[in-house]
A and B are shown apart, each in its own frame.
Chain A
């Protein structure tokens, strides 16, 4: 089956995005496909290239990025949610005259329409919540 996954929680603060990554890995292992990963709300922080973890701890953004690039997945980060939270690529960085960018390679910044379009194409949409 085709899946869309929505990741809404930041790494570190909640287990939710780690659960999402494990679920995504299990999907591919079971022969399903991932139409798109959509990072929404605080979930945009998973797409940072600037996360540093102590050596004996899991670096979740790094794990996500490896997973996305290794399987050439379509991974979209909600642009409105991301720029508000300071997760930007070089294009947004120059648009808003900032000094750096921190969106990891393999991710696209785009709008909610990408989530809607992906859901239309998918058999299942699974939300990994913000843990409110």
Chain B
């Protein structure tokens, strides 16, 4: 078993990248690898609650991401600075992700066998 980190740095609906990062994290967990997921940069927009993408004819990524803990992608992290820079407050996040400082992110990255930046 290897330790994988998937880094997602795109907002949920402007491109396919956020969904593709989520798909990859789920696939890695499904194939019995230890997977962490880090939301950073615009990726923290994925953590906003009450997303309503139906009005732009998109599927709700946030609803799909609720399955992450069920598939044992339990280590969910976000960059605290990225959140703050975008004016998002911590008490209204859609996922039980843990805040990390930039130096903690550096440490997290050093602990991995492989990093996937989708």
Q: Mark A30-42, 1 if CB is under 8 A from B, else 0.
A: 0000000000111
A113 touches B27 (CB 8 A): yes
Given A116-B27, A119-B2, A6–B33 Cβ distance below 8 Å? Answer: no
Q: Nearest Cβ in chain A — how far from B81, in angstroms?
A: 19
Q: Mark B78-118, 1 if CB is under 8 A from A, else 0.
A: 00000000000000000000000000000000000011111
Cα distance, A117 to B4, chains bound together (Å)? 12
Q: Nearest Cβ in chain B — how far from A43, in angstroms?
A: 10
A112 touches B15 (CB 8 A): no
Q: Contact partner of A119 among B4, B9, B20, B118, CB < 8 A?
A: B4
Smallest Cβ-Cβ distance to B31: which chain A residue: A116
Q: Kindly state whether residue B24 has any CB partner on chain A within 8 Å.
A: yes
Interface size on A, residues (CB 8 A): 23
B31 touches A81 (CB 8 A): no
Query: B30 contacts which chain A residues (CB < 8 A)?
Result: 113
B27 touches A119 (CB 8 A): no
Q: Mark A100-128, 1 if CB is under 8 A from B, else 0.
A: 00000000000111011101101011010
Q: Nearest Cβ in chain B — how far from A42, in angstroms?
A: 8
Query: B24 contacts which chain A residues (CB < 8 A)?
Result: 40, 112, 115
Query: A80 contacts which chain B residues (CB < 8 A)?
Result: 23
Q: Kindly state whether residue B67 has any CB partner on chain A within 8 Å.
A: no
Given A6-B116, A127-B116, A132-B9, A120–B33 Cβ distance below 8 Å? Answer: yes
Within 8 A of B (CB), among A4-30: 6, 8
Query: B28 contacts which chain A residues (CB < 8 A)?
Result: 112, 116, 119
> What are 19 A-B contacts defined by CB distance under 8 Å?
A8-B118, A40-B20, A40-B24, A41-B16, A41-B17, A41-B118, A80-B23, A84-B16, A112-B23, A112-B24, A115-B27, A116-B28, A116-B31, A117-B31, A120-B2, A120-B31, A120-B33, A127-B117, A132-B10
Contacts A81-B20, A132-B15 aside, 6 further interface pairs with beta carbons under 8 A come to A40-B20, A112-B28, A113-B30, A119-B2, A119-B28, A119-B114
